[in-house]
Amino acid sequence: MVDDMLVVTTDAQAYKMILTETQGRVAIITLNRPKALNALCSELFHEINDALARFDNDSSIGAVVLTGSERAFAAGADIKEMKDTEFIGNYKNNFLAHWTEQLGRMRKPVVAAVNGYALGGGCELAMMCDIIYAGEKAVFGQPEINLGTIPGAGGTQRLTRAVGKSKAMEMILTGSVNLDAMEAKTYGLVSAVFPPELLVEEAIKTAKKIAAKGAVSVQMAKEAVNQAYELNLSSGLHFERRLFQATFATKDQKEGMDAFAGKRKPNFVHE
């Protein structure tokens, strides 16, 4: 049997600003604007959204890794693209909404592997993911105030929930206080820190562990955790309990508990 760690399939879909590949049940999306330090623009997000939607609807994929280069995950938004836009047009067209739409409705877990700069929109993009792993030289920040504006893709909301009000205020209001990788881990913004050269490999390992579990239970667990940010405790506990009860209608619950009782490894069928 061939270890799927050694089987890498490059996606045939042609993109200009991202690279996609698969390893077993894991899809990897790599931002690929090296000259712009992976600066985020509308075309890049359309490509990210397209790839995410395809993998979310692909039953052979169980989890996704999103990464950039060793120098920059994404150094911010493409300011040249947005600097001359006007309020009326931005409001009517709901500018930036498409930056968050697909990640916000992803059913499958997404692991961000962040090396180098994750500033402005890059920090916001990482925080849209379910798990963040950081390389030792990663830097997280929200410097939009230096450009006469504020974060617009979740920075004021997700960062505050991750690191607390005081630190979020300090980062956002000064535009110059950033978090290095270990600080980000201390504050709970990232789950783990690795040497830069091992980061993506470690993210893929975790994604493979997740993808090997029953897909229905994984999606339910993700949904329940995300609802913790939206519901009060009583409603959240009720929501969790109903999803827990619902797992007993799945084949994987039967298989998982039978395997545990029989002291064998479960063979999940993702149903």
Q: Which residues are catalytic?
A: 77, 121, 124, 144
How far is CA 25 from its chain centroid? 17
Residue 66 parent element (H or E):
strand 63-67
Q: Tell me the residue type at 248.
A: F
- Cα 82 to Cα 76: distance, rounded to the nearest angstrom: 12
| Beta strand pairing call for 192-194 and 131-135 | parallel
Contacts of 206 (CB under 8 A, 6+ apart): 111, 131, 133
Distance of CA 267 to the CA centre of its chain: 27
Distance between CA 223 and CA 107 in Å, rounded?
8
Cβ–Cβ < 8 Å for 127, 162: yes
